[in-house]
Structure 1
Amino acid sequence: MSLLLDSTPIERPVSRAHGIGFWTIAGTFLVAMAYSTVPSPLFPLYVAREGFSTFAITVVFAAFAVGVVISLLLAGHVSDWLGRKAILIPALGLEVVSALLFLSSTSLPVLITARVINGLGVGMIAATATAFLHDLHTRHRPGASSQRFEIVSTAANIGGLGVGALLAGVLAQYSSSPLSTPYVVLAVLLVLSIVAVALTPETVTRQQVSYRPQRISADLGAAGLGAFSAFAVFGVFTSVSPGFVAGELHHPSRTLAGLVVFIVFGGAALAQTLTSGVRVSTLRSIGLGAQAIGVLLVVAGMYTTSFPLFLVGGAIAGVGAGVQFKAAIGAVAATAAPARRGEALAGLFFVAYLGLSVPSLSIGLATRYLAPTTVMTWFAALLLILLAGVAVLAAPKRS
């Protein structure tokens, strides 16, 4: 869930500071992404306290995607000429503001505002931190393989999303203030991250460039549909699955709610790491199969009220979504012209975040009129149709 853009690196001799900075930015990236999923296992608590409907909760969740898309279009690329730290530090500041809003009130308007601000920060952080990591890795290990950068950036990015939900679930389970403690802990870590980033060496020389929003490419084909389907899975598990676990599966534990999200994103991050060097066509086949099998097992777990089956299905679906999105990025990076690669990747992320929000909102609205198990069955059916569409679009064209 990151966007790597071209940069103008500062020509400096290799230094130990760049090596330390690499791990500093990796830790900062992980903390920032972890904060984005803190609310996921807490949503049932908001429902119990404020009486929110499932649809209201998904609106709160979707507000995050709206913020990310706006930020991605307006600010995700400007660190290439303003500098990495000049964007990363204010973005982390937005995350702190978001946490303070969550601490100030549990009313719906405040929660929505907090999530939009959270998304604005993440849209800036995902692009900038990934590029910063690449710069620092290259400076610290010139000429070395990019494998360390790829593994660490994936673990911090996708893995961080899982860590945040698990940490929030554990803190909420064993804290006397479950709707406050997770935000306090992450806010402190975010403030420490701001200090750490300020001490990290800059890697980009500031340039005077006429500002323009990031251009979006719409011609994405199988990659775009694959990204949409992958993020649809992520969106469902971070927005409505904690409510399903507490309601339909009768497991109200906040730790278990966080564990579900952690396993989905953890499976995605692990699969992306283990498939390094695998061809895009093979990645796509693995992703399609795993997503299909996983979502069917999730629905079966809901019908049989089997939490283990639901959890296994979530893990397999997460693996599939992670590999599918990696295939989408690989396809776009390989086929886009160098001068339009940033534009094409921005388009891919735009479509992906639509996948993160639209299906979740639709599910939230549908649960007002239908049983959650029925709604998830329809989601599974529509996801299978999307996956079939990816397979058709990606099939080799016969002459």
Structure 2
Amino acid sequence: MSDIRSSWAGLALALAFFSGMLSSSLPTPLYPVYISLYGFSASQIMTVFGVYAAGVLFALIVTAKINIRPESYTIPIYAGLGCVFLSSLLMMFAHNIITLILARFITGLGSGILMAYINRSLIKIFDTEISNAAALTATASLILGQAIGPLITGNIVHHDFYKLKAPYVILLSLVVISTIGVWRSRQVVNKPIIPILIERQKIIIESINMLSFRDVIFCCMAIFLSWAMASTFMSQGPILAHIYFNVTSVQRVSYSLSAFLLVAGATQLVMRKKHHYFSLRIGVTAQLAAVLIALVSVYTISPGLLLISVMMEGFAYGAILVGAVTIVNIVARQSQQTHIINLLYIVGYVGNWLPFSLSTMMDHLPMKTALVDYLFICILFSISVFISTYISGRNNRAVQIRS
């Protein structure tokens, strides 16, 4: 019975996390619609997109400083779902840029709160039962939520079915269902943490050179550019596909963005079995290739090359994330400074604001010039990350962890 209750609680938490992540990507195909209906500029749309990251960052920083007892984890989860519910209502009836910005910031708050406490709850529920159930549940919810959002909205926009309302009606329904699910499983979610004796892991260093904070810096650099490029495709992709690459089908763009996130998720699963520096190196290599292909696609105005670049970026996104997180975890464990882990995600979310420079350039320069200048900046940064990672990777041989 305990296993069944834990499974139902895990399912309720997964649905809640899925709803939070769905809210982050659901509006993406609507950005061209907002531009055509309300005449928003590219920088305004980028602000709407970027303020979500600000909300997530704020929530993560605040939740890291607030100590909530494990027996009360449902309280912040309800608060996170409430933020998603409120932001969805605001998005449904938004007719100006201020309302959209406010709604997206509240969405970020909700996503950040859910990210913090649902992960903690999953670890608490599954810690003695299934070794990797918590991680797999959280990863699946995050990837599916981000991937399915553009798919849902893209199809709604394609069929012109209450395109500014229907996506959020679906989201509101999921939020209500997940809230009920969490409430029904509140006893399991709020169960106290039971101390468990865990065999200490032996860390075998095969090289004199241990991982250091320098490696963390390289990981942060890689994550910054990776998340910046992902943010570029998610925020500016639909607009550029329609205006610059003459891709008129919203469905095709939505499918491409969903495929991008699914490739990233699949890559994370595959790369979990690889050495951390191998994953990081192959990720930054794919990152450089993706940016170069994107530049060529701009010069040739080739939607096909752009699609290849997007898929390559999805692979890079997943590989870099796995390698960087593993390296940072090792350094945090060696130095006993767990706050280093937060640094990685903070830098990543800051990277979400880099595309704001592209939107600003698009408002003041010819579109091709803006794209070329932006991609050249990304290429230079990508080359520096590539060189730094390979030099550091050669100086740090395997650090293996075994029970």
TM tier, smaller: 0.7 to 0.9
Q: How far apart are 1:220 and its partner, in Å?
A: 3.5
The answer to whether the 8 Å contact 1:72/1:123 transfers is yes
Query: Which residue is 1:232 aligned to?
Result: 228
Q: Secondary structure of 2:127's match? A: helix
Greater CA radius of gyration, 1 or 2?
2
Deviations 1:328-369 (Å, cap 9, x if unpaired)? 111110111478554112111111111011x11111101012
Alpha-carbon distance between aligned partners in 2 of 1:71 and 1:339, rounded to the nearest angstrom? 26
- Counterpart code for 1:62: G
Runs of 5+ consecutive residues of structure 2 not aligned to the other structure: 194-212, 397-403
Q: What pairs with 1:167-316 in structure 2 (closer than 5 Å)?
A: 167-200=152-185, 201-205=188-192, 220-316=216-312
Q: TM-score, normalised by structure 1?
A: 0.87
* Cα distance per residue 1:237-257 (max 9 Å; x no partner): 111111001111112322223
Following superposition, the deviation at residue 14 of structure 1 comes to: 4.3
Query: Does structure 2 retain, via aligned residues, the 8 Å contact 1:158–1:269?
Result: yes
Is this contact kept in 2: 1:42–1:254, CA < 8 A? no
SS state at 1:240 partner? helix
Alignment pair present for 1:65 and 2:50 = no
Aligned pair in 2 of structure 1 residues 158, 317: CA closer, same or farther (>3 Å)?
same
Find the partner of 2:366 among 357, 360, 371: 371
Alignment TM-score, normalising by the size of structure 2: 0.86
Equivalent of residue 107 in structure 1, options 96, 102, 127: 96
Structure 1 segment 353-392 matched on structure 2, within 5 A: 353-357=349-353, 359-392=354-387
Query: How many residue pairs were aligned?
Result: 372
Quote the offset at 1:155 in angstroms: 2.2
Alpha carbons of structure 1 residues 303 and 254: separation in structure 2 relative to 1, 3 Å: same
How far the C-alpha of 1:233 sits from its partner, in A, is 1.3
Output one character per residue of 1:264-296: Cα deviation in whole Å (capped at 9) or x when no partner. 211111100111221111011111111122222
Q: Secondary structure at the match of 1:367?
A: helix
Distance 1:111 1:162 in 2: 22
Give the C-alpha shift of residue 193 in structure 1.
Answer: 1.1
Unpaired segments ≥5 residues, structure 1: 1-12, 207-216
Structure 1 letter corresponding to 2:14: A
User: Equivalent residue for 2:63?
Assistant: 75
* Residue 348 in structure 1 maps to residue 354 in structure 2: no
Q: 2:75, 2:214 → 1: CA distance?
A: 30
- 1:89 partner SS: helix
Are 1:15 and 2:3 matched, yes or no?
yes
* Helix, strand or coil at the partner of 1:299: helix
- Could you tell me how far 1:382 is from its partner in structure 2? 2.2
Provide the aligned C-alpha RMSD in A. Answer: 2.4
* Identity value in percent: 23
Letter of the 1:202 counterpart: V
